[in-house]
Structure formats: C-alpha cells, structure tokens
A = this chain, B = another copy of it.
C-alpha cells in the first residue's frame, strides 16, 4: 500500500489541506500515521471519511451533527433513528431558511425596482431600509 500525502488526500476528497488538518485537530478524523520525515500518511478509508464530511458540510450539517453521523456510520448495527432525526431537523431548518430568503427576495426586488437611478433622496433602496413600516417583510 502506497502512502497518501495530505495533498493527495485533499485532492481526492475535495477537502482543502488546512481543513484536513483542522478536522484532525478537532478529532473528526483520526490522526493518521506519519512518514519518517513526520509527514501524514493517509489510508483509503480516511479519504472516504473526508468525502463523507465534505458532503455533509455541503448539506449544511454542523460539525457536531457530523460527529454523531460518523459514530453511527462506524457502528452499522445501531439504530438509524438518530441519523434520521438529524436529517429531519436539518430539513426543517432548510425549509425555514428558504421561506425566509424568499421573503427577503421579494423585499429586495421591490427595492431594486423602485430605484429611479437618480439621487439618494429619491432612492427606494435607502428609503425602505430607513423606514421598516414601508416593507412587506414581517419578523418572528
């Protein structure tokens, strides 16, 4: 088995080099063995783990959630109820975020459309920001 350097691991997993070291430092990835010259030497399993983490991060899971998901993955006989709960919670968050961003989008569109491209004192962008009562955006 040939040694996988950190650069190679980064390339294969899509996680940046300093981020790989960071994940090791917070215990998300086991410390790999070292070469004679003290350089990290990764196993193929580490690459899979890094790819797992990367994908989960892309889906917006927090590090602590990923930590839980990884311990579940490490023991395949456990119930997947926790994994399911984590994914469902994330789904709810994402749905909420989409709703709120859609409201923001509408407000920004009103602002941009209303801008006459003249002077600031006629600009709807500034006006709407200054007077919350004018906007359609509701809170909490």
Q: Is A125 interfacial (CB-CB < 8 Å)?
A: yes
**Contact residue among B59, B60, B91, B123 (Cβ-Cβ distance under 8 Å from A84):** B123
Copies in the complex: 2
Q: How far is the CA of A51 from the CA of B130 in the complex (A)?
A: 7
Task: Judge whether A69 is part of the interface by a CB distance below 8 angstroms.
Answer: yes
Is A83 in contact with chain B by the CB < 8 A criterion? Answer: yes
Of the candidates B79, B88, B128, which one forms a contact with A112 in the assembled complex, judged by CB atoms under 8 Å apart? B88
**How far does the alpha carbon of A96 sit from the alpha carbon of B26 in the complex, in Å?**
31
13 A-B residue pairings within 8 Å (CB atoms) = A48-B130, A55-B129, A59-B137, A69-B126, A75-B120, A79-B118, A80-B125, A84-B112, A86-B125, A87-B111, A87-B115, A91-B112, A98-B102
Closest 8 CB pairs of A and B: A80-B123, A76-B121, A91-B108, A83-B125, A76-B120, A80-B120, A87-B125, A84-B115
